[in-house]
Amino acid sequence: MTDSTGPFEPQPAADRTPPTADSTPPTADSTPPTALRTPPTADSTPPTALRTPPTADSTPPTALRTPPTADSTPPAPPRATGGARARAVRLGPRSLVALALTSAVGAAAFFWPFLAPPTSRVAAHAQDAPWLFAGLLALLMGVVAATLSESGLGPKAVAMLGVLAATGAALRPIGAGTAGIEPMFFLMVLSGRVLGPGFGFVLGAVTMFASALLTGGVGPWLPFQMLAMGWFTMAAGLLPAPDRLRGRAELLLLAGYGFCAAFAYGTIMNLAGWPFMSALASTIAFDPDAPVPANLARFLAYCLATSLGWDLGRAAVTVVLTVTLGPAVLRALRRATRRAAFETPVTFDPPGSSPSGEGLRADGHADGEAPHMTHVTNEAG
């Protein structure tokens, strides 16, 4: 017991304490490595900051890709119109068949006096023929209108058709048929020339129908007038060199065609009423018992005696208006046709979308774009 409490006992305790004190510094010394590892963590932040600028630099390419998309939109209208004439109404196979059928029935309705032999019983129903042909032509005109609408009479073509038909209908009462002064004919010639034969046929028929409603000229002769005006305007679209001929040469061509077509229109319309004037018992009336050459001579005499003055006035007015007002009207029609871009479809983008899908603002619309903008896209086809 004395040895356990002797002076030798504190020394081992003191000897064991320093190691405990010495063990602390290593713990303190172990902290600097932790501090040494912290700077690399601080140094590792700049690489993160260095990687951020590339992300900021990658944004401009996105902005650079947006202008090409915006630049690719303007060439669409030129490709739709190009240097060639735009077709407001493209005549497909069904449209051509329906138009040919209508023209064939119309030709039979006009020229039946020269097609039926004298022994035919067609003359016995001469008084019923106008109403029969009028009803048949009305049905066929409806078929043609539906077919043409299906083949490409879009909203822009309908708008153009409405404007030109209203203008032509308003021009017809100016002359009121006095001495053949009918200024609407020159507008039909120029419109058919610029917009093509398909649009010309529809325009001629619709304009004559609208003008008949305006002037009170509705009757069994109206389908004949609509068909004749449709032919008249369609033939203007079939004149040669529509994409190359310009200037004075084009005006002379249109004036010459208008002069000849004015007489042709009057002559064809005479056929609509001449066969039903047999009660006059004159040398110019239709004779169902006479041969075709004799009736042809009677018809020519009828035209010279009744409609030559009207046809001459119509031809003169058409030539004068074509030469004087033709250049301005042709420029206006071609400018309107280029802006309409009939062959370019129109798409309506919903709010919050853009044609390219990039460059949207905070409000959901593309830069420089108004809400609910209509975009014109060009589709190959």
Minimal CA–CA distance to 167: which of 125, 221, 207, 212? 207
Query: pLDDT at position 9, please?
Result: 47
CA distance 274 to 3: 161
CA distance 274 to 65: 71
Minimal CA–CA distance to 171: which of 189, 184, 190, 185? 184
CA distance 27 to 114: 127
Q: Sketch out the chain's domains with CATH numbers.
A: 93-341 (1.10.1760.20)
Minimal CA–CA distance to 275: which of 292, 265, 288? 288
Strand boundaries in the chain, DSSP class E: 346-348, 374-376
Q: Tell me the pTM.
A: 0.62
Mean pLDDT in order along the chain per 10 residues (381 residues) = 46 47 46 47 47 48 48 46 54 75 80 65 56 66 66 72 88 70 88 87 88 79 86 89 82 92 90 71 74 84 85 90 91 83 57 52 48 45 37
Distances (CA, A) of 105 to 13, 48, 71, 205: 133, 84, 52, 16
Query: pLDDT at position 246, please?
Result: 83
